[in-house]
Structure 1
Amino acid sequence: MLKLAVLVSGGGTNLQSIIDSIADGRITNAEIKVVISNNKNAYALERAAKAEIPAKALSPKDFTDREAFNDALLQALIDSEADLVVLAGCLVVIPPKIVEHFKNRIINIHPSLIPSFCGKDYYGLKVHEGVLNRGVKVTGATVHFVDDGTDTGPIILQKAVEVHQDDTPKSLQLRVMEEAEWVIMPRAIDLIANGKVKVEGGKALIEQ
């Protein structure tokens, strides 16, 4: 059974998709051991409570410096005995010490088709604003392993979503979540939980 630690910052829609996918069998051989939020007021914590999943808030504001927060976050992940760390709308920059400890065991969902509209300046609605400003016709979402860079780790799954001419950043964000994020994040977790993903030469390979 793959043990998951899910890191969140806000509403927790991706967390909910994981919870629902475990419940209905789209994700097999996996369980959520803990949900951790850097935001004490995140609705994601309520979602975890409703699903009777252990949850905690770890805010950088409660620590003397960022290093102390990073140490506490690493210890919380170790204490959870997580096999896989899932960044589900997590806005915390994961420090190198955590990336190294969980090498190829941290995954993230990004709301574009990497390598387009990704990197340190692209997060939240900024991604969809960038897509609309550029006028591309297709966007989507990407699940990837986390490495030392920003959105640069091996790509596991991607799913395309059509951009409509009358889209706003918010309407596009919602459609990308519904059509792509909530589909490929559970799928990626299921593949990993069942030993179907391996990293070779900087690429994620999926067993057919």
Structure 2
Amino acid sequence: MVKTKIAVMVSGGGTNLQALLDAQKSGVLTAGEIVLVIASNDKAYALTRAEQAGVPAVVCSRKALGSQEAFEAAISQALEEHGVELIVLAGFMSILSGDFTGRWPRRIINVHPSLIPSFCGKGFYGLKVHEAALEHGVKITGATVHFVNEVTDGGEILLQKAVEVEPGDTPEVLQRRVMEQAEWKLLPQATQRIAEEIGKGKENA
């Protein structure tokens, strides 16, 4: 079966990118191949991870490019050049427009560090999600992998995994536990599933 070409879009440390690269090595992710990493910031450590893994990487910074249109045009060009068929948002902090997501129906997935519909949508990203969970006093949180559409965190849910909140948790401690117990497991599983579907679709075309 021909592997589905995957782009991983990142903004920071790239721990979810690493989970995907490791999944490729260990045979969890077999239906797809990461052919491109796109970073929204040139200082993202994820770029180093891509380099170490021998994966081509480009930087598309909205700030440097000056507008949403130019930013998305640069992303689209990079995706086209590498023949990308599936986009995985792995800690990608820039919002993509409905115009962009509309061109990739059921081809963009994102991992979010809560059990959607809790603590999601505009303003809920990174540590802010875990701060909100602790402020509300929830006993269970987790992570969600979902399709991306024009509504922030509003696409169809693919996978979810619950993680317990423990007494004395700080946002940082909780963030780490959610990553280790949920995000790093769910994202490779969901990526494999969608890459497989895309592959089958091509075979049947």
Equivalent residue, structure 2, for 1:122: 124
Q: What is the rounded CA distance, in whole Å, between the counterparts of 1:194 and 1:105 in structure 2?
A: 12
Alignment partner of 2:102 out of 100, 111, 126: 100
Equivalent AA in structure 1 for residue 125 of structure 2: Y
Equivalent residue, structure 1, for 2:167: 165
Alignment partner of 1:144 out of 143, 146, 155: 146
Equivalent AA in structure 2 for residue 25 of structure 1: G
- My pick for the range that moved more, 185-194 or 139-148, is 185-194
- Taking a change above 3 Å as real, the CA distance of residues 64 and 122 of structure 1, as seen in their structure-2 partners, is closer
User: Structure 1 residue 105: deviation in Å?
Assistant: 0.3
Equivalent residue, structure 1, for 2:11: 9
Q: What is the rounded CA distance, in whole Å, between the counterparts of 2:107 and 2:197 in structure 1?
A: 12
Runs of 4+, deviation exceeding 4 Å: none
Equivalent residue, structure 2, for 1:59: 61
Q: Secondary structure at the match of 1:195?
A: helix
Q: Secondary structure at the match of 1:143?
A: strand
Matched, 1:174 2:176: yes
Alignment partner of 2:189 out of 187, 190, 201: 187
Greater helix content? 2
User: Structure 1 residue 52: deviation in Å?
Assistant: 0.2
Greater relative contact order, per chain length (Cα 8 Å cut-off, separation 6+): 2
Equivalent AA in structure 2 for residue 98 of structure 1: F
Q: What is the rounded CA distance, in whole Å, between the counterparts of 1:46 and 1:150 in structure 2?
A: 28
Q: Secondary structure at the match of 1:104?
A: coil
Q: What is the rounded CA distance, in whole Å, between the counterparts of 1:61 and 1:116 in structure 2?
A: 30
Equivalent AA in structure 1 for residue 128 of structure 2: K
Equivalent residue, structure 2, for 1:133: 135
Q: What is the rounded CA distance, in whole Å, between the counterparts of 1:64 and 1:110 in structure 2?
A: 27
Q: What is the rounded CA distance, in whole Å, between the counterparts of 2:125 and 2:107 in structure 1?
A: 22
User: Structure 1 residue 61: deviation in Å?
Assistant: 2.5
Q: What is the rounded CA distance, in whole Å, between the counterparts of 1:93 and 1:189 in structure 2?
A: 20
User: Structure 1 residue 190: deviation in Å?
Assistant: 1.1
User: Structure 1 residue 72: deviation in Å?
Assistant: 1.3
Structure 2: gaps (5+ residues): 199-205
Q: Secondary structure at the match of 2:197?
A: coil
User: Structure 1 residue 113: deviation in Å?
Assistant: 0.2
Aligned residues: 196
Q: What is the rounded CA distance, in whole Å, between the counterparts of 1:132 and 1:174 in structure 2?
A: 14
Q: What is the rounded CA distance, in whole Å, between the counterparts of 1:168 and 1:63 in structure 2?
A: 36
Q: Percent identity?
A: 53
